[in-house]
Chains A and B, each alone.
Chain A
Amino acid sequence: MIIDIALTNSVIELQALMQVPGPDCGAFVLFTGHVRDRENDAQIEGLVYEAYVGMAEKEMQRLALEIAELHPVKRVVVRHRIGRIPVGETAIAISVTGAHRAHPMTFVQLFMDRLKQDVPIWKASTIPVSDHAPAIH
């Protein structure tokens, strides 16, 4: 299994996630998570994410290996953006290839569930509408 996981301060280029499945892969699954325009019932222009960078990447790597024990796949690519992310832009993207659809689809679901429990990344603050300075709360 090939694992390619990274945090980035830049816009996530989905091209980096678009895998060309090999001849032994019948399935390609892509999930992207985006910043919505509301947080805690308030209209926002974006979110600011922070991370414990080294541990976050290690933890995502560990989760991928753990999930693959039950749901073997061929290749996993994950990008999680940190810093200021405007509404509509991609905060996380994960793509997985595998022989059949079941394991890649389950892999993505479990990875996202576990990421939200274990990976040290936080929505640090919101960017209020018409206010370009992040408000810490």
Chain B
Amino acid sequence: MTLLYFSKLRDLTGRDSEQIPMTTSLSEDGLWDLLEARHPGIGKSRNYVRIARNQVYLEANSMLEPNDEVALIPPVSGG
């Protein structure tokens, strides 16, 4: 799985992307557990960060797969 970080989350993690080795599917809860283990404190942003899977916002109860591109989308401010 490729994880993408933008805006404030890139500042928080110190990177714009990283590869996560995966062999099985992962729930959204599982993703946040994984993120917290790699970047302690990132879980505090869960209430305002949306997850996109392969460039589409993740629907409730969707699973993430090993080859997915997963982006953490903090509140947007375009326009």
- A residues adjacent to B (C-beta < 8 A): 33, 49-52, 54-56, 58, 80, 91-92, 112, 115-124, 136
A33 to B79, CA, bound (A): 7
Residues of chain B within 8 A (CB-CB) of A56 are: 78
Name the CB-closest residue of A to B73. Answer: A120
- B residues adjacent to A (C-beta < 8 A): 4, 6-7, 11, 52, 55-57, 71, 73-74, 76-79
Name the CB-closest residue of B to A57. Answer: B55
Q: Are A119 and B7 in contact (CB under 8 A)?
A: no
Q: Are B78 and A124 in contact (CB under 8 A)?
A: no
Q: Are A119 and B71 in contact (CB under 8 A)?
A: no
The residue that A52 contacts in the complex, of B11, B73, B77, B79, with Cβ under 8 A, is: B73
Knowing A52-B73, A122-B7, the reply to whether A116 touches B79 (Cβ < 8 A) is yes
Report B41 CB to chain A, min CB distance, Å: 19
Report B49 CB to chain A, min CB distance, Å: 11
How many residue-residue contacts, CB under 8 A, span A and B?
A: 57
Residues of chain A within 8 A (CB-CB) of B11 are: 136
Report A69 CB to chain B, min CB distance, Å: 18
Q: Are B78 and A115 in contact (CB under 8 A)?
A: yes
A105 to B59, CA, bound (A): 31
Name the CB-closest residue of A to B74. Answer: A122
Knowing A50-B7, A52-B4, A136-B11, the reply to whether A121 touches B55 (Cβ < 8 A) is no
Residues of chain B within 8 A (CB-CB) of A58 are: 55-56
Name the CB-closest residue of A to B78. Answer: A121
Interface centre among B55, B56, B77, B79 (most CB of A within 10 A): B79
Name the CB-closest residue of B to A51. Answer: B78
